[in-house]
Structure 1
Amino acid sequence: MSSWEGFFCLNPNILVLDSHFHLNYLNSLKLTLEKAIKKNVVTGIVAGVWNEDTLENLSFSMDPNLNSILCFLSKEMDIKNSFDLNKFSCFLSHGLHPMYVHEKWILENGKLNNEKISNDLSEFNQILLNNKNKIWAIGETGFDLSNDILKHKNCNSLTKQNLIEIQNIAFENCIQAAINYKLPVILHLRAPWNLCIQKIKWAKNQGVNNMMIHCYSGPAEELKILSKLSIYCSFGAVPTWQKATKNRDAFLKCDPLFRMLETDSPDLPPEIPGVGKLTENEPANLIEISKILAAHLNKTDIELIKSSNENAFRFLGIF
């Protein structure tokens, strides 16, 4: 029996972990975290989008209005004994998100802003060095060829291959950082899956240990390959949407040893039977998401949460 059994036992005080959410984008932060705590969602992995987001998240630890309710877990702590069910405890990640690359690094004429790239990479590495005891994962990083990027004014003169090459600058810097600091990697992947699999294999060959695809939106048939590569896949509220049959199929077919639950708050809110799709997302909604998705697996929500918790701790390298 795991020494963490107290966190996973089937009782009302089970610790619930949100595998991916955006702390600094949440509305009415203190109220939102209080709502989460009341539903036993008391910890989670905070997504890292860009340097300024990581710094904003870190600044919350110095906010006296949040000290009584929010804390950032440090690697110097005895994690097993550090959780307070009256506080929201964060595992912080630090990334260079592919959806920011075209805004940050590409000029309106389609040329690269090489000085900005150099400065951002230097700042990224310095933030990581300065806060290595509080940063538990690298990411988000990855590849995105969604219409939001392809149709952006900065990308009009660029091909998809051009964009992949520019996003790859951020990706490879993040992978090297993960290797240097022996950290897991959180992936954002909205690009052709042959490319995504290729880059995952490359990163694994470079020496990255644990990797997680957050808010998995790929084909269900790719999950066998990902399982063989020991890649974790996190699912949010999209599979709760009535029309999202492909996403739900992927959730159902994901290897339970590598499946996790997230909200991606405040984005992609769940669709609640009898209520409809909520207008925004928050960590507290993980309880409703787990109930809906557990029913599709013919499991209880507690069983699904327990499995997701264990996988998240394993992904982070805690046990």
Structure 2
Amino acid sequence: MFAGIAAGVWNADTLQNIQYYQDSNLNSILEFLKKDQIKLAKNNSYQLNSNKFSCFLAHGLHPIKVHENWLRDDGSEDVEKIGNDIAQFHEILLNNRDLIWAIGETGFDLSNEVIQHKKCKGISKTQLFELQNIAFETCINSAIKHDLPVILHLRAPWDLCIQKLKWAKKMGLKNMMIHCYSGPAEDMNLMSELSIYCSFGGVPTWEKAVHNRNAFIKCQSNLRMLETDSPDLPPEIPGIGRLKSNEPANLRQIIKILAPYLEISDEELISTSNENILKFLGIH
């Protein structure tokens, strides 16, 4: 059985994935799961098609796209574009409620990739964070309204990210997952208190990524997930080195490297991760 979340990075990406769903040429290999199918799964033992890649579509406003879409070349905010994109975000969600399983990615990104962008040279990190917060709060409020989980992308000062996670929980958000967790291992107790899922890809396999591996080890088993983040952040394979790119096929190798750190079998790590993903999506 093959399954995964096809994340909508921005409105255009979500629409592209919906087009995949409607493309009869892909029916032989892809199956975009709809919520009425899962109702059958609960009542009539519906089984995922083992011969197809089962996709759960997510719809988000990714922070890495905020400055590209909402800032003019001189660094000023394009208020009309912001309003139009948010309106389109809501429209896509309303028109595809049975097909969209999660909101995301959304969050904050103040990495060099963003702050050194040509559109960001004239504005401060605080202004960028506040602009990304418009997208973040739009996504969080929509997730609460439609009772959907949220996929988080967090590459910004950790204390600010934690403040926004606490705000989202206070607002009533039930399920959220930090994709490619990069925070401190010491905050795993806080993640548990807030019932936040944490997902890990290839980074914990890197020999020098001690802090991220410790976070993986300390994450509670009922909140831990595995992912690929294809094609970024590939695993480091003993005797081979770090792969050039990542893909779902590498998960088996990642599991074989990481399971011993938890002193559990490969099968147990796979089983708990799969169970957590289904709980996160509201299927179990």
From 45, 66, 88, the counterpart of 2:5: 45
Per the alignment, residue 305 of structure 1 pairs with 270
Amino acid in structure 2 at the alignment position of 1:119:
N
- CA deviation map 1:47-94 (0-9, x unaligned): 220001111111112333321110100001124523011111011100
1:207 aligns with 2:209: no
Work out the CA distance in 1 between the residues paired with 2:57 and 2:110: 26
Work out the CA distance in 2 between the residues paired with 1:54 and 1:172: 19
Mapping of residues 53-202 of structure 1, within 5 Å = 53-77=13-37, 78-79=40-41, 81-202=46-167
Work out the CA distance in 2 between the residues paired with 1:100 and 1:253: 32
TM-score (norm 1): 0.85
From 224, 227, 241, the counterpart of 2:189: 224
Amino acid in structure 2 at the alignment position of 1:49:
V
1:237 aligns with 2:202: yes
Q: Which runs of 5+ in 2 are unaligned?
A: none
Work out the CA distance in 2 between the residues paired with 1:123 and 1:82: 34
- CA deviation map 1:103-155 (0-9, x unaligned): 11011211001111111101111000111000000010001110111111111
Amino acid in structure 1 at the alignment position of 2:34:
S
Per the alignment, residue 294 of structure 1 pairs with 259
Amino acid in structure 2 at the alignment position of 1:214:
H
Work out the CA distance in 1 between the residues paired with 2:275 and 2:239: 31
1:255 Cα offset (Å): 1.0
Per the alignment, residue 233 of structure 2 pairs with 268
Mapping of residues 7-18 of structure 1, within 5 Å = 15=1
Work out the CA distance in 1 between the residues paired with 2:273 and 2:186: 21
Work out the CA distance in 2 between the residues paired with 1:293 and 1:47: 25
Amino acid in structure 2 at the alignment position of 1:135:
I
From 245, 252, 262, the counterpart of 1:280: 245
User: Larger relative CO (CA 8 A, sep 6+): 1 or 2?
Assistant: 1
Q: Which runs of 5+ in 1 are unaligned?
A: 1-14, 16-41
Work out the CA distance in 2 between the residues paired with 1:215 and 1:48: 16
Work out the CA distance in 1 between the residues paired with 2:94 and 2:34: 14
CA-atom RMSD in angstroms: 1.1
Identity of aligned residues (%): 62
TM-score (norm 2): 0.96
